[in-house]
Each structure stands twice: as C-alpha cells, then as structure tokens.
Amino acid sequence: MNIVIWIVQGLAALGFVYSGWMKAFQHEKAKHAWGWVKEVPTALVVFIGLAELLGALGIILPEALGIVPVLTPLAAALLGAVVLLGALFHLSRKEYREIGVNIVFIALAAFVAIGRF
C-alpha cells in the first residue's frame, strides 16, 4: 500500500507543480489556458500558484526525508481544501467542465491525506 500512496503522491505533486508554476510564473500563459485567470486579480492567482507549489513540496519532502512526516498528510489535506474552493468557484461561474479536474485532485489529495495519517 505504501508504494501506491507514493505513486499517488507523485502524481498529485506533478499536477500541483504544473498548475502552480503556470499561475505563479507564467501568468500570460495561464490566461490563455484558463479563462477565469483573466477575471481574478493577478496577486490572488500568483498567491494560489505559490500555495500549490509549496503544497507540492509538502506532499513529498517531509515523508521522503523523514523530517516531521506529519506535514505530508497536512499538506495533502490543505491542497485538497484549496482545490475544493476552486471547484466551488468554478461551480459559481457555471464552469462545469473544469470541476472534473478538481474532483480528480481532491480525490488524490484525500487519498494521500488519509493514507499518510
């Protein structure tokens, strides 16, 4: 089971690194990829991106290094909360197509959080 959790952690981290990097450092590219980015303050989009990048580190490094490993499920739970808020945001904008991706990442984050607690 540990191997499965590591695989899920890796997949989740890769997804959050991609999403976070686009939001934090490639704002123009993010505007073209995601329509909502045009209508949200740039500072908020960058903040969300940085939070996702830090969360991606938090979902891997504490457990991998054995340094305060309780931070791994905590990071996963917090990333899940961020994605849940994103899903609610998309729901309020009637962007139903976007919610599928949110559900996948909520599931990945929840699996890691439960598996590592």
pLDDT tens for each residue of 17-73: 999 999 999 988 998 888 899 989 999 999 999 999 999 999 999 999 999 999 999
Prediction pTM value: 0.91
Has residue 97 got a pLDDT over 90? no
What is the pLDDT at residue 65? 96
**Structural contact between residues 60 and 89, judged by C-beta atoms closer than 8 angstroms:** no
Q: What percent of the chain lies above the pLDDT cut of 90?
A: 86
Given this model, what pLDDT does residue 35 score? 85
The confidence score (pLDDT) of residue 72 equals 97
Sign of CA dihedral 99, 100, 101, 104: positive
Q: Where are the domains of the chain?
A: 2-116
